[in-house]
Structure 1
Amino acid sequence: MSYKKYDDESSCADSSSYGSAEEDGFMSECISDEDSGLAGTTDSCSADAEPGENPNSDLLEENAALLKRAEDLTSAYLTLAADFENYKKRNQKHLDDIKKFASEPLMLDMIEVADNFERAINSAESETADKDSLMEGVKNTYRQFMNLLEKNGLSRIPSNPGTEFDPHLHESVAQIPTADCPEETIIEVFKPGYTLHSKVIRPATVTISTEP
Protein backbone atom coordinates (compact mmCIF):
# COMPACT_ATOMS: atom_id res chain seq x y z
CA MET A 1 0.00 0.00 0.00
CA SER A 2 2.78 2.28 0.66
CA TYR A 3 3.92 1.81 -2.95
CA LYS A 4 0.51 2.70 -4.24
CA LYS A 5 0.47 5.73 -2.07
CA TYR A 6 3.79 6.72 -3.42
CA ASP A 7 2.49 6.29 -6.90
CA ASP A 8 -0.52 8.39 -6.06
CA GLU A 9 1.65 11.05 -4.58
CA SER A 10 3.98 10.94 -7.57
CA SER A 11 1.07 11.14 -9.90
CA CYS A 12 -0.32 13.97 -7.90
CA ALA A 13 2.98 15.71 -7.99
CA ASP A 14 3.22 15.13 -11.72
CA SER A 15 -0.33 16.29 -12.11
CA SER A 16 0.39 19.35 -10.04
CA SER A 17 3.53 19.94 -12.04
CA TYR A 18 1.61 19.51 -15.26
CA GLY A 19 -1.01 21.92 -14.05
CA SER A 20 1.66 24.44 -13.20
CA ALA A 21 3.18 24.06 -16.65
CA GLU A 22 -0.18 24.59 -18.27
CA GLU A 23 -0.77 27.64 -16.13
CA ASP A 24 2.69 28.95 -16.98
CA GLY A 25 2.01 28.39 -20.63
CA PHE A 26 -1.36 30.04 -20.34
CA MET A 27 0.16 33.01 -18.53
CA SER A 28 2.91 33.28 -21.14
CA GLU A 29 0.31 33.30 -23.90
CA CYS A 30 -1.70 35.91 -22.05
CA ILE A 31 1.35 38.06 -21.49
CA SER A 32 2.39 37.66 -25.12
CA ASP A 33 -1.10 38.53 -26.25
CA GLU A 34 -1.13 41.55 -23.96
CA ASP A 35 2.33 42.60 -25.11
CA SER A 36 1.36 42.17 -28.72
CA GLY A 37 -1.79 44.14 -28.07
CA LEU A 38 0.16 46.95 -26.46
CA ALA A 39 2.66 46.90 -29.29
CA GLY A 40 -0.16 47.10 -31.78
CA THR A 41 -1.62 49.98 -29.87
CA THR A 42 1.72 51.80 -29.90
CA ASP A 43 2.23 51.13 -33.59
CA SER A 44 -1.28 52.26 -34.37
CA CYS A 45 -0.67 55.48 -32.44
CA SER A 46 2.53 56.08 -34.33
CA ALA A 47 0.74 55.34 -37.57
CA ASP A 48 -2.00 57.76 -36.60
CA ALA A 49 0.64 60.51 -35.97
CA GLU A 50 2.38 60.18 -39.35
CA PRO A 51 -0.49 61.08 -41.68
CA GLY A 52 -1.00 64.26 -39.70
CA GLU A 53 0.25 67.74 -40.58
CA ASN A 54 3.82 67.75 -41.97
CA PRO A 55 6.04 70.12 -39.98
CA ASN A 56 7.94 70.95 -43.22
CA SER A 57 4.83 72.03 -45.10
CA ASP A 58 5.20 75.65 -43.91
CA LEU A 59 8.78 75.74 -45.16
CA LEU A 60 7.74 74.29 -48.50
CA GLU A 61 5.00 76.87 -48.88
CA GLU A 62 7.37 79.68 -47.91
CA ASN A 63 9.98 78.39 -50.35
CA ALA A 64 7.39 78.25 -53.14
CA ALA A 65 6.31 81.82 -52.34
CA LEU A 66 9.91 83.02 -52.40
CA LEU A 67 10.51 81.32 -55.75
CA LYS A 68 7.39 82.96 -57.16
CA ARG A 69 8.54 86.32 -55.79
CA ALA A 70 11.98 85.84 -57.35
CA GLU A 71 10.41 85.02 -60.72
CA ASP A 72 8.21 88.12 -60.53
CA LEU A 73 11.16 90.34 -59.62
CA THR A 74 13.29 88.86 -62.41
CA SER A 75 10.52 89.45 -64.92
CA ALA A 76 10.05 93.02 -63.68
CA TYR A 77 13.80 93.65 -63.86
CA LEU A 78 14.03 92.36 -67.43
CA THR A 79 11.09 94.52 -68.45
CA LEU A 80 12.60 97.57 -66.75
CA ALA A 81 16.00 96.91 -68.35
CA ALA A 82 14.41 96.66 -71.81
CA ASP A 83 12.44 99.87 -71.24
CA PHE A 84 15.55 101.69 -70.06
CA GLU A 85 17.51 100.51 -73.09
CA ASN A 86 14.76 101.79 -75.38
CA TYR A 87 14.74 105.07 -73.45
CA LYS A 88 18.50 105.46 -73.95
CA LYS A 89 18.12 104.86 -77.68
CA ARG A 90 15.29 107.37 -77.96
CA ASN A 91 17.20 109.91 -75.89
CA GLN A 92 20.36 109.45 -77.96
CA LYS A 93 18.37 109.90 -81.16
CA HIS A 94 16.80 113.04 -79.70
CA LEU A 95 20.24 114.44 -78.83
CA ASP A 96 21.54 113.59 -82.29
CA ASP A 97 18.59 115.40 -83.85
CA ILE A 98 19.21 118.44 -81.64
CA LYS A 99 22.85 118.58 -82.75
CA LYS A 100 21.94 117.97 -86.36
CA PHE A 101 19.23 120.61 -86.56
CA ALA A 102 20.54 123.10 -83.98
CA SER A 103 21.61 125.46 -86.76
CA GLU A 104 18.23 125.35 -88.51
CA PRO A 105 17.14 128.87 -87.41
CA LEU A 106 20.54 130.24 -88.43
CA MET A 107 20.33 128.51 -91.80
CA LEU A 108 16.91 130.02 -92.45
CA ASP A 109 18.32 133.51 -91.83
CA MET A 110 21.35 132.74 -93.97
CA ILE A 111 19.06 131.78 -96.82
CA GLU A 112 17.65 135.31 -96.76
CA VAL A 113 21.17 136.71 -97.05
CA ALA A 114 21.93 134.32 -99.90
CA ASP A 115 18.78 135.51 -101.69
CA ASN A 116 19.99 139.11 -101.46
CA PHE A 117 23.41 138.16 -102.80
CA GLU A 118 21.79 136.39 -105.74
CA ARG A 119 19.70 139.49 -106.51
CA ALA A 120 22.84 141.64 -106.33
CA ILE A 121 24.69 139.31 -108.70
CA ASN A 122 21.77 139.23 -111.15
CA SER A 123 21.54 143.00 -111.01
CA ALA A 124 25.28 143.39 -111.66
CA GLU A 125 25.06 141.08 -114.68
CA SER A 126 22.22 143.03 -116.29
CA GLU A 127 23.01 145.56 -119.03
CA THR A 128 21.27 148.37 -117.19
CA ALA A 129 23.16 147.84 -113.95
CA ASP A 130 23.63 150.97 -111.87
CA LYS A 131 26.91 150.89 -110.00
CA ASP A 132 25.73 153.08 -107.14
CA SER A 133 22.51 151.13 -106.55
CA LEU A 134 24.41 147.87 -106.85
CA MET A 135 26.94 148.99 -104.26
CA GLU A 136 24.18 150.12 -101.95
CA GLY A 137 22.47 146.73 -102.29
CA VAL A 138 25.71 144.91 -101.46
CA LYS A 139 26.25 147.09 -98.40
CA ASN A 140 22.72 146.43 -97.20
CA THR A 141 23.23 142.70 -97.65
CA TYR A 142 26.47 142.86 -95.70
CA ARG A 143 24.79 144.73 -92.85
CA GLN A 144 21.99 142.18 -92.85
CA PHE A 145 24.56 139.40 -92.66
CA MET A 146 26.47 140.99 -89.76
CA ASN A 147 23.26 141.68 -87.84
CA LEU A 148 22.35 138.05 -88.29
CA LEU A 149 25.69 136.94 -86.86
CA GLU A 150 25.38 139.31 -83.90
CA LYS A 151 21.89 138.00 -83.21
CA ASN A 152 23.39 134.54 -82.85
CA GLY A 153 26.06 135.64 -80.38
CA LEU A 154 28.90 136.59 -82.71
CA SER A 155 30.70 139.87 -81.97
CA ARG A 156 33.58 141.57 -83.71
CA ILE A 157 36.72 142.15 -81.62
CA PRO A 158 37.69 145.85 -81.40
CA SER A 159 40.95 146.08 -83.33
CA ASN A 160 40.95 149.41 -85.15
CA PRO A 161 44.32 151.10 -85.76
CA GLY A 162 45.37 152.96 -82.63
CA THR A 163 43.86 150.32 -80.31
CA GLU A 164 46.14 148.88 -77.65
CA PHE A 165 47.36 145.38 -78.43
CA ASP A 166 45.82 142.60 -76.28
CA PRO A 167 47.44 139.16 -76.66
CA HIS A 168 44.16 137.52 -75.55
CA LEU A 169 42.28 139.15 -78.41
CA HIS A 170 44.89 139.92 -81.04
CA GLU A 171 47.58 138.01 -82.86
CA SER A 172 50.62 139.96 -84.00
CA VAL A 173 52.05 138.94 -87.36
CA ALA A 174 54.45 141.87 -87.77
CA GLN A 175 56.11 144.60 -85.72
CA ILE A 176 56.93 148.02 -87.13
CA PRO A 177 59.35 150.38 -85.32
CA THR A 178 57.76 153.80 -85.09
CA ALA A 179 57.78 156.86 -82.87
CA ASP A 180 54.33 158.06 -83.97
CA CYS A 181 52.43 155.91 -81.43
CA PRO A 182 53.10 154.09 -78.16
CA GLU A 183 54.67 150.68 -78.18
CA GLU A 184 52.37 147.70 -78.85
CA THR A 185 49.71 149.75 -80.54
CA ILE A 186 47.77 148.27 -83.45
CA ILE A 187 48.85 149.87 -86.70
CA GLU A 188 47.09 147.72 -89.28
CA VAL A 189 44.45 144.95 -89.25
CA PHE A 190 44.85 142.06 -91.67
CA LYS A 191 41.87 140.00 -90.49
CA PRO A 192 39.21 141.00 -87.96
CA GLY A 193 38.69 138.78 -84.93
CA TYR A 194 35.44 137.47 -83.47
CA THR A 195 34.03 136.19 -80.21
CA LEU A 196 31.09 133.83 -79.82
CA HIS A 197 29.24 134.48 -76.56
CA SER A 198 32.38 136.12 -75.11
CA LYS A 199 34.63 133.24 -76.23
CA VAL A 200 37.38 134.14 -78.68
CA ILE A 201 36.93 131.90 -81.70
CA ARG A 202 39.35 133.82 -83.90
CA PRO A 203 41.81 136.47 -82.73
CA ALA A 204 42.34 139.53 -84.87
CA THR A 205 45.46 139.36 -87.03
CA VAL A 206 47.29 142.71 -86.69
CA THR A 207 50.53 144.62 -87.05
CA ILE A 208 51.76 146.42 -83.95
CA SER A 209 54.29 149.13 -83.23
CA THR A 210 57.58 148.82 -81.42
CA GLU A 211 60.19 151.29 -80.22
CA PRO A 212 62.32 152.77 -83.00
Structure 2
Amino acid sequence: MNHTKYENEVCAETDSAESCDDSAFMSECIPEEDGGTTLEDGAANAGPCASEKSGALADENAVLLKRVEDLTSAYLTLAADFENYKKRTQKHMEDVKKFASEPLMIDMIEVADNFERAIVSAEKETADKESLMEGVKNTYRQFMTLLESHGLSKISSDPGTEFDPHLHESVAQIPTAEFPDETIMEVFKPGYTLNAKVIRPAAVTVSTEPDE
Protein backbone atom coordinates (compact mmCIF):
# COMPACT_ATOMS: atom_id res chain seq x y z
CA MET A 1 0.00 0.00 0.00
CA ASN A 2 2.79 2.43 0.83
CA HIS A 3 4.62 1.55 -2.37
CA THR A 4 1.54 2.27 -4.42
CA LYS A 5 1.02 5.59 -2.73
CA TYR A 6 4.62 6.61 -3.51
CA GLU A 7 4.23 5.69 -7.16
CA ASN A 8 1.08 7.78 -7.38
CA GLU A 9 2.87 10.79 -5.95
CA VAL A 10 5.72 10.46 -8.53
CA CYS A 11 3.25 10.23 -11.37
CA ALA A 12 1.43 13.30 -10.12
CA GLU A 13 4.67 15.32 -10.08
CA THR A 14 5.54 14.14 -13.60
CA ASP A 15 2.12 15.12 -14.93
CA SER A 16 2.46 18.50 -13.26
CA ALA A 17 5.85 19.16 -14.92
CA GLU A 18 4.59 18.15 -18.35
CA SER A 19 1.56 20.38 -17.83
CA CYS A 20 3.85 23.34 -17.07
CA ASP A 21 6.01 22.70 -20.15
CA ASP A 22 2.95 22.59 -22.37
CA SER A 23 1.65 25.81 -20.82
CA ALA A 24 4.94 27.61 -21.51
CA PHE A 25 4.97 26.41 -25.14
CA MET A 26 1.42 27.53 -25.72
CA SER A 27 2.16 30.91 -24.19
CA GLU A 28 4.91 31.51 -26.79
CA CYS A 29 3.20 30.18 -29.88
CA ILE A 30 -0.58 30.73 -29.65
CA PRO A 31 -2.37 34.03 -30.45
CA GLU A 32 -2.62 36.86 -27.91
CA GLU A 33 -5.98 35.76 -26.55
CA ASP A 34 -4.28 32.49 -25.62
CA GLY A 35 -1.19 34.24 -24.23
CA GLY A 36 0.93 34.22 -27.54
CA THR A 37 2.63 36.81 -29.76
CA THR A 38 0.42 39.07 -31.98
CA LEU A 39 0.93 40.32 -35.59
CA GLU A 40 0.89 43.86 -34.27
CA ASP A 41 3.91 43.03 -32.13
CA GLY A 42 5.70 41.77 -35.29
CA ALA A 43 4.82 44.92 -37.22
CA ALA A 44 6.07 47.04 -34.36
CA ASN A 45 9.38 45.19 -34.45
CA ALA A 46 9.63 45.77 -38.29
CA GLY A 47 8.66 49.46 -37.99
CA PRO A 48 12.16 51.04 -37.67
CA CYS A 49 13.44 49.23 -40.81
CA ALA A 50 10.47 50.42 -42.96
CA SER A 51 10.91 53.96 -41.65
CA GLU A 52 14.57 54.01 -42.67
CA LYS A 53 13.70 52.83 -46.20
CA SER A 54 11.02 55.50 -46.51
CA GLY A 55 13.47 58.20 -45.41
CA ALA A 56 16.09 57.01 -47.91
CA LEU A 57 13.56 57.10 -50.75
CA ALA A 58 12.52 60.62 -49.75
CA ASP A 59 16.16 61.78 -49.79
CA GLU A 60 16.75 60.17 -53.18
CA ASN A 61 13.60 61.79 -54.57
CA ALA A 62 14.76 65.19 -53.31
CA VAL A 63 18.13 64.73 -55.02
CA LEU A 64 16.46 63.76 -58.31
CA LEU A 65 14.11 66.74 -58.15
CA LYS A 66 17.07 69.08 -57.59
CA ARG A 67 18.85 67.47 -60.55
CA VAL A 68 15.78 68.03 -62.76
CA GLU A 69 15.61 71.67 -61.69
CA ASP A 70 19.30 72.18 -62.47
CA LEU A 71 18.99 70.54 -65.89
CA THR A 72 15.87 72.56 -66.72
CA SER A 73 17.62 75.79 -65.75
CA ALA A 74 20.67 74.86 -67.84
CA TYR A 75 18.47 74.02 -70.82
CA LEU A 76 16.59 77.32 -70.62
CA THR A 77 19.87 79.23 -70.39
CA LEU A 78 21.29 77.35 -73.38
CA ALA A 79 18.12 77.94 -75.41
CA ALA A 80 18.25 81.67 -74.66
CA ASP A 81 21.94 81.85 -75.62
CA PHE A 82 21.27 80.02 -78.87
CA GLU A 83 18.40 82.35 -79.73
CA ASN A 84 20.66 85.36 -79.13
CA TYR A 85 23.35 83.73 -81.26
CA LYS A 86 20.89 83.28 -84.13
CA LYS A 87 19.87 86.92 -83.92
CA ARG A 88 23.50 88.10 -83.92
CA THR A 89 24.33 85.82 -86.86
CA GLN A 90 21.33 87.03 -88.85
CA LYS A 91 22.27 90.67 -88.24
CA HIS A 92 25.88 89.93 -89.22
CA MET A 93 24.77 88.31 -92.48
CA GLU A 94 22.53 91.27 -93.24
CA ASP A 95 25.42 93.66 -92.62
CA VAL A 96 27.72 91.55 -94.82
CA LYS A 97 25.17 91.61 -97.63
CA LYS A 98 24.52 95.32 -97.19
CA PHE A 99 28.17 96.36 -97.16
CA ALA A 100 29.71 93.65 -99.36
CA SER A 101 30.39 96.18 -102.13
CA GLU A 102 32.00 98.71 -99.76
CA PRO A 103 35.61 98.12 -100.96
CA LEU A 104 34.51 98.47 -104.59
CA MET A 105 32.52 101.62 -103.84
CA ILE A 106 35.53 103.22 -102.12
CA ASP A 107 37.63 102.60 -105.22
CA MET A 108 34.87 103.83 -107.53
CA ILE A 109 34.74 107.13 -105.67
CA GLU A 110 38.19 107.92 -107.03
CA VAL A 111 36.94 107.27 -110.56
CA ALA A 112 33.90 109.48 -109.95
CA ASP A 113 36.23 112.27 -108.80
CA ASN A 114 38.16 112.08 -112.07
CA PHE A 115 34.95 112.13 -114.11
CA GLU A 116 33.82 115.24 -112.26
CA ARG A 117 37.13 116.94 -112.98
CA ALA A 118 36.81 116.00 -116.66
CA ILE A 119 33.29 117.50 -116.80
CA VAL A 120 34.47 120.71 -115.15
CA SER A 121 37.34 120.91 -117.60
CA ALA A 122 35.00 120.34 -120.58
CA GLU A 123 32.70 123.14 -119.41
CA LYS A 124 35.51 125.68 -119.46
CA GLU A 125 35.78 127.74 -122.66
CA THR A 126 39.53 127.22 -122.69
CA ALA A 127 39.18 123.45 -122.58
CA ASP A 128 41.44 121.69 -125.05
CA LYS A 129 39.73 118.83 -126.90
CA GLU A 130 42.85 116.72 -126.94
CA SER A 131 43.53 117.21 -123.23
CA LEU A 132 39.87 116.46 -122.52
CA MET A 133 40.04 113.21 -124.47
CA GLU A 134 43.27 112.27 -122.76
CA GLY A 135 41.65 112.89 -119.36
CA VAL A 136 38.65 110.71 -120.27
CA LYS A 137 40.94 107.90 -121.48
CA ASN A 138 42.99 108.06 -118.31
CA THR A 139 39.84 107.90 -116.21
CA TYR A 140 38.62 104.89 -118.19
CA ARG A 141 41.95 103.11 -117.72
CA GLN A 142 41.81 103.82 -114.01
CA PHE A 143 38.26 102.53 -113.91
CA MET A 144 39.15 99.26 -115.63
CA THR A 145 42.22 98.78 -113.45
CA LEU A 146 40.09 99.07 -110.34
CA LEU A 147 37.56 96.58 -111.69
CA GLU A 148 40.34 94.14 -112.52
CA SER A 149 41.70 94.46 -108.97
CA HIS A 150 38.32 93.18 -107.79
CA GLY A 151 38.45 90.11 -110.04
CA LEU A 152 36.76 91.48 -113.17
CA SER A 153 38.27 90.58 -116.55
CA LYS A 154 37.20 91.36 -120.08
CA ILE A 155 36.57 88.35 -122.32
CA SER A 156 38.79 88.21 -125.36
CA SER A 157 36.49 88.65 -128.36
CA ASP A 158 38.43 90.56 -130.99
CA PRO A 159 37.39 90.09 -134.64
CA GLY A 160 38.99 86.91 -135.99
CA THR A 161 38.76 85.14 -132.60
CA GLU A 162 37.20 81.70 -132.67
CA PHE A 163 33.63 81.67 -131.38
CA ASP A 164 33.22 79.99 -127.98
CA PRO A 165 29.60 79.39 -126.88
CA HIS A 166 30.76 79.36 -123.25
CA LEU A 167 32.17 82.90 -123.56
CA HIS A 168 30.29 84.45 -126.45
CA GLU A 169 26.67 84.96 -127.43
CA SER A 170 25.88 85.02 -131.12
CA VAL A 171 23.47 87.82 -131.99
CA ALA A 172 23.80 87.30 -135.76
CA GLN A 173 25.35 84.85 -138.21
CA ILE A 174 26.72 86.28 -141.41
CA PRO A 175 27.72 84.14 -144.43
CA THR A 176 31.13 85.34 -145.60
CA ALA A 177 34.33 84.10 -147.15
CA GLU A 178 36.34 86.83 -145.41
CA PHE A 179 36.47 84.92 -142.12
CA PRO A 180 36.70 81.22 -141.39
CA ASP A 181 33.52 79.51 -140.28
CA GLU A 182 32.48 80.10 -136.64
CA THR A 183 34.68 83.16 -136.23
CA ILE A 184 33.84 86.43 -134.50
CA MET A 185 33.37 89.25 -136.97
CA GLU A 186 32.19 92.13 -134.75
CA VAL A 187 31.64 92.81 -131.07
CA PHE A 188 28.41 94.55 -130.10
CA LYS A 189 28.90 94.32 -126.36
CA PRO A 190 32.02 93.15 -124.50
CA GLY A 191 31.77 90.24 -122.10
CA TYR A 192 33.22 89.92 -118.62
CA THR A 193 34.20 87.27 -116.09
CA LEU A 194 34.35 87.68 -112.33
CA ASN A 195 37.01 85.46 -110.76
CA ALA A 196 36.86 83.19 -113.83
CA LYS A 197 33.04 83.00 -113.78
CA VAL A 198 31.24 84.36 -116.83
CA ILE A 199 28.87 87.06 -115.59
CA ARG A 200 28.10 88.42 -119.04
CA PRO A 201 28.99 86.74 -122.36
CA ALA A 202 30.22 88.92 -125.18
CA ALA A 203 27.53 89.74 -127.75
CA VAL A 204 29.07 89.15 -131.19
CA THR A 205 28.34 88.44 -134.84
CA VAL A 206 29.66 85.12 -136.12
CA SER A 207 30.74 84.12 -139.60
CA THR A 208 29.31 81.15 -141.45
CA GLU A 209 30.25 79.51 -144.69
CA PRO A 210 28.70 81.36 -147.65
CA ASP A 211 26.05 79.67 -149.73
CA GLU A 212 27.37 78.21 -152.98
Q: TM-score range by the shorter chain?
A: 0.7 to 0.9
**Among 100, 108, 111, the residue aligned to 1:110:** 108
Structure 1 pair 43/188, CA: closer, same or farther in 2 (3 Å)? closer
* Rounded Cα–Cα distance in structure 1 between residues aligned with 2:100 and 2:137: 29
* Rounded Cα–Cα distance in structure 1 between residues aligned with 2:35 and 2:69: 52
Partner of 2:47: 50
Q: Percent identity?
A: 74
Where does the alignment leave 5 or more consecutive residues of structure 2 unmatched?
Answer: 1-26
Shift of 1:37: 11
**Among 100, 109, 126, the residue aligned to 2:98:** 100
* Secondary structure in structure 1 of the residue aligned to 2:95: helix
Shift of 1:56: 2.0
* Secondary structure in structure 2 of the residue aligned to 1:94: helix
Structure 1 pair 72/37, CA: closer, same or farther in 2 (3 Å)? farther
**Among 87, 90, 94, the residue aligned to 2:88:** 90
**Among 123, 126, 130, the residue aligned to 2:124:** 126
Partner of 1:136: 134
**Among 135, 147, 150, the residue aligned to 1:149:** 147
Where does the alignment leave 5 or more consecutive residues of structure 1 unmatched?
Answer: 1-30
Q: CA offsets, 1:97-134, max 9 Å, x none?
A: 11111111110000110010000001001111111111
**Among 171, 188, 191, the residue aligned to 1:190:** 188
Within-5 A mapping of 1:32-51: 46-47=43-44, 49-50=46-47
* Rounded Cα–Cα distance in structure 2 between residues aligned with 1:204 and 1:82: 52
Partner of 1:78: 76
Partner of 1:18: none
Give the count of matched residue pairs. Answer: 180
TM-score (normalised: structure 2): 0.78
* Rounded Cα–Cα distance in structure 2 between residues aligned with 1:139 and 1:42: 116
* Rounded Cα–Cα distance in structure 2 between residues aligned with 1:175 and 1:141: 35
Partner of 1:163: 161
Residues 1:200 and 2:207 aligned together: no
* Rounded Cα–Cα distance in structure 2 between residues aligned with 1:140 and 1:197: 25
Larger deviation: 130-139 or 40-49?
Answer: 40-49
What amino acid is the match of 1:64? A
Shift of 1:54: 3.0
- The structure with the larger Rg is 1
**Among 171, 174, 185, the residue aligned to 2:172:** 174
Larger deviation: 36-45 or 173-182?
Answer: 36-45
Q: CA offsets, 1:150-204, max 9 Å, x none?
A: 0000000000001011111111111111112210111110000000111111100
